[in-house]
Structure 1
Amino acid sequence: MKIIIVGAIAGGSTVASQIRRALPESQITLVGREPDIGYGTCGMPYVIGGLISDSEKLVGTTPEDFIEERNINTLVQHEVLSIDRSNKTVVIQNMETEERFTESYDKLILSPGGFSRVPEFKGLGDLPLFTLKTLSDLETILEYIEKEKPTSCAIVGGGFIGIELAENFIHLGLKTALIERNDRVMKIMDVEITDILNKEMEDNGVEFYFEDAIERIEGKKLIMKNGVNVEVDFIAASVGIIPDTKLASDAGLTIGSTKGIVVNRYMQTDDPDIYTIGDAAECTDWVTGKPKRVQLAWHAHRAAYIVSRHLAGKPIEINGFLGTTITKLFSLTAAMTGHSAKSLTEEGISFKTVTHDGRSNAGYYPDHGTLHLRVHYDSETRRILGAQGVGDKGVNKRIDILATAMMGNITVDDLSALELAYSPPYSSPKDPINMLGYKAK
């Protein structure tokens, strides 16, 4: 079987490796625009802040290793320009030489990712504007900081990447302003969670400009719509990712309501010989069954496994997505799975909420932290619809348990009966998860 994979970062390199194990005799070609493959994009903010000492640590493998050790034909700095579905061929261009050639395929896998949304600012001029999506973006930021020695910056956008950049710019000693058109950071989460995150950022020196935007720029001065002037050395924009669907759209594949490429439970597009994984794939929501597109690494890796199994004739279906995610913010950890109060309300789903404020482990043990947990559930079926947590210790464990509970259809009441590991350094006799169950009763 001859397989061509378009895109060589998380999804593409992973599915290539999975297919090599599942189909040892297959002929695999991996095509990527960048010079690197399979690197850890999620670690990039921490390289900027110095927590990760070298960007090379993010690179798990090299094109040479893929060729030599895995027998995967790896074409870096190459781009697939078009798909001819009737003849099952693609046109590939060498981005350095501009040479073009045609390759045939039996199966085609699209893992195109997406592009950073770049805002347009009136009067930007020579003021540096950065986004952070690729390893090249990271190197550009690192080179600028090393050479220019900036002292201040503005971040536009208060989502996951925005707040992680804020933390890491603060670690560098930069005066950091965060500009957000909404009234809080992390609007995907409940207000009760983001209020805690806002305070943590303020306590660490981040300046907020909520419900505001840059009206124009004069030199290094940002003229804000609310009338405040902010002077900065550079801007970092984190205002979303645009899925790269042009290749699929040009080939006549269906683009769905989330602006992703529509796939079935086996990650197949309209064309059964073409699969899509990663940021650009439109799957379904675990709770509602409606279209959902998740731009996170776990989902790309899971989809890669689903594709490899299907190609090997041992199919399993992909589940609906919960969108489980977690982030570090100074001394805090925040995480969520499933729906927030806002998204449930927008979906017209009736729900109740149970909360718990407590310690991560035994209070008499010297190393304990605090937790705030929230679970949204259906008041009739008692099914868990979503959960969130924030605290300085143990959040990851609890959100993972709650995500497992959701997938196992465990009710909110059943949480009280979960027999969870207890020892004073790790928990309490009644774990915070148990307490949520007791309180819901």
Structure 2
Amino acid sequence: MSASSTDPVKKIVIVGGVAGGASAAARARRLSEASEIVVLERGNDPSFANCGMPYYVGGQIATRDKLLVSPIERLQQRYRLDVRVRQSVEKIDREKKQVEVRDLTTGKVYTESYDKLILAPGAAPLRPPLPGIDLPGIYTLRNLDDADRLLAAAHGAKQAVIIGGGFIGLEMAENLVHRGIKTTVVERNTQILTPWDAEMAAPVAEHLKSKGVELILGDSAESFAESGGGLVVRLGSGADLPADMVVLSIGVKPENQLAVDAGLEVGPRGGIKVAPTMQTTDPDIYAVGDAVETTDAITGEPTQIPLAGPANRQGRIAADHIFGRDSTYRGTQGTAVVGVFDMTAAMTGLSEKACERLAIPCEKVYIHPAHHAGYYPGAQGMTLKLLFSPRDGRVLGAQAIGGDGVDKRIDVIAMAIQGKMTVYDLEEAELCYAPQYGSAKDPVNMAGFAAAGVLRGDQPVLHCHAADNCLVLDVRTPGEHAAGAIDGAVNIPLEELRERHGELPKDQKILAYCKVGQRGYMATRLLNQLGYETANLSGGMTTHEHRQQAVGSLPVSAP
């Protein structure tokens, strides 16, 4: 059902702009010309591209105006919205259906009635109560005013410390390096990008180091102090890091106080609980964006993942439902991408460690294809990890790292997850191909081939951490073997294996490996047909090295 001139006039009050609130407001106006729509934004800018702020600080985005997705004048003139900035909503009276608002410029307090209320307060950067945390020179990044302060601080700064190795932390590290600032990232976990599996994040960490970023893992800030006109960050390990500026990027917490005070239900991590229609426990109050608790699209379990795409869709769905449309949120699958200098890391769905935590059975394969045909100039390598159900092959998640084309493959697999597809569907996916864009057998197809081969028994696989009691067979060339091999591996090149397989025992399981898994797969097929019990090391030596970077797995010998 769509809104029309016969619809009852509704007054919609939206608390907060940016992604969720602004998209809800624009959608509501498109559905109803008759409604009064009031947007109350606490900051100075009702609709801006917060994901672009690190690049504004780094100078990649030259002017602040480029970050204004919909300036206030456009929202007022094009959509006829009543947009008010510097307005803090401080109380909801659910019985009277009105909110109490404080004008932060004048101090005036007034009330605003509503028929429907949409909460889009977002999430605030965590600022733990550490000694010295409020000293000048310690910044967070939430809005354009924060970005302006960071930009001003970056001019003249020589060294910076970033606390946190997540999306914003790594993007800030790249952009401060672009400004010539010596940058250190401190992450309390033993890996950066904690939603990723460790072996997939490890090459990104190595890439950061290669670009001059100092990376300290497994340590955390304990206190901050002034020193010689700058700051000193004291770590839990006792180390002191000098800095001209400090950026806190250790996560966010939902801005839920307004909802809590109004008696709306929140989850254990503070997210405002909503139905698929984005209604809270009060049917006249909706909530969208980083402040809400939704469901995981794969597991159906409660989750909180602050991403711009879901926030925009949730705002649209809330407006749809207000005007009688049958629109619901399908859940969040955590599709995300981050650029780290000239490397890209992307993921969708469940990680392996999430499957382990939730006791969800999963199998995995690794592939290392080029992003387009290898014979066409400029082919860049990538690593793609695919997680799937060992029972029916349903795709559970994927992660990829590399250069060009990483985001494209994860987007395709994200759609496969949303469609509840299997690895057999990935085998059959028909994707566009020309040599400068992809391969006739796209990396998505190749991941499907490898995973389906595991399920069919055509390609038994083992992984680096499960190779005990195996005879390890290196089927690479003698030169490759001499340059570095898994400790104790027997080297029989694939091209000689048919003639020399008799050198191998039939009473011991064999783990075959090569550089990326392809020759190991062919060796596995060959030996199993000759009566050996053989498995392929998925992803080959390349994945082994990634895992070794992350957790120090099997030793590698080298001359």
Q: Pick the TM interval, shorter chain.
A: over 0.9
Of residues 58-67 and 45-54 in structure 1, the stretch that sits farther from structure 2 once superposed is: 58-67
Change (3 A) 1:166 1:92: same
Indicate the residue corresponding to 1:173 in structure 2: 180
**Does residue 86 in structure 1 map to residue 95 in structure 2?**
yes
Q: Show CA shifts across 1:298-318 (max 9, x none).
A: 001101111121112112221
- TM-aligned CA deviation for residue 125 of structure 1: 7.8
2:53 & 2:404 partners in 1: Cα distance? 23
* Correspondence for 1:11: 20
Task: Determine which of 214, 219, 232 is the counterpart of 2:221.
Answer: 214
Runs of 5+ unmatched residues, structure 2? 1-9, 454-559
Moved more, 82-91 or 60-69: 60-69
Q: What residue in structure 2 maps to residue 35 of structure 1? A: 44
1:192 is aligned to 2:199: yes
Measured on the aligned residues, the alpha-carbon RMSD in Å equals: 1.3
One-letter identity of the residue aligned with 1:129: I
Match of 2:104 in 1: 95
Secondary structure of 1:359's aligned partner: coil
**Which SS does the other structure have where 2:25 is aligned?**
helix
2:247 and 2:78 mapped to 1: Cα distance?
38
**CA deviation map 1:22-55 (0-9, x unaligned):** 1121110000011111100000011111111112
Question: What is the rounded CA distance, in whole Å, between the counterparts of 2:174 and 2:42 in structure 1?
Answer: 30
Corresponding residue for 1:339? 350
Q: Deviations over 1:194-227 (max 9, x none)?
A: 1110110000011111111233444233333323
TM normalised by structure 1 equals 0.97
2:83 equivalent to 1:74? yes
Give the 3-state SS of the residue equivalent to 2:238 in structure 1.
coil
Q: How does 1:368-379 map to 2 (within 5 A)?
A: 368-379=379-390
Q: Are residues 1:318 and 2:325 paired? A: no
Aligned AA (2:108): E
Summarize the Cα distance change of 1:302–1:175 in structure 2 as closer, same or farther, 3 Å threshold: same
Unaligned runs of 5+ in 1: none
What's the CA shift for 1:71?
A: 1.1
Q: Which residue of 1 aligns with 2:538?
A: none
Contact 1:257 1:291 in 2 (8 A): no
TM-aligned CA deviation for residue 127 of structure 1:
5.3
| Partner residue, 1:384 | 395
Query: What amino acid is aligned across from residue 294 of structure 1 in structure 2?
Result: I
Contact 2:335/2:349, CA 8 A, preserved across alignment: yes
Per-residue deviation, 1:388: 0.5
Query: Which has the higher relative contact order, 1 or 2, with Cα contacts under 8 A spaced 6 or more apart?
Result: 1
Aligned 8 A contact 1:127 1:233 in 2: no
- Structure 2 distance, partners of 1:234, 1:294, is 28
Separation in 1 of the partners of 2:53 and 2:11? 34
For 1:11 and 1:370, how far apart are their aligned partners in 2?
36
Q: Give secondary structure in 2 for the equivalent of 1:334.
A: strand
**Which residue of the other structure, out of 253, 257, 272, is the alignment partner of 1:261?**
272
**8 Å contact from structure 1 (residues 326, 396) kept in 2:** yes
What letter matches 2:173 in structure 1? A
Kept in 1, the 8 Å contact 2:91–2:100? The answer is yes
Number of the residue aligned with 2:425: 414
SS at match of 1:302: helix
TM-score, scaled to structure 2 = 0.77
CA–CA distance in structure 2, aligned partners of residues 253 and 215 of structure 1 = 35
Q: Are the aligned partners of 1:383 and 1:411 in contact in 2 as well (CA < 8 Å)?
A: yes
Question: Would you say the 8 A contact 1:31–1:79 is kept in 2?
Answer: yes
1:143 and 2:147 are equivalent in the alignment: no
- Note the 1:242-257 alignment, pairs <5 A: 242-257=253-268
Deviation at 1:401, TM superposition (A): 0.3
Q: Is the 8 A contact 1:258 1:292 kept in 2?
A: no
Deviation at 1:122, TM superposition (A): 2.7
Structure 1 residue 276 displacement after superposition: 0.3
Counterpart AA for 2:272: I
Name the larger-Rg structure: 2
Match in the other structure for 2:548: none
State the one-letter code of the partner of 1:404.
M
| Partner residue of 2:211 out of 179, 204, 214 | 204
Offset of 1:320 from its aligned partner?
1.5
Identical pairs, percent: 38
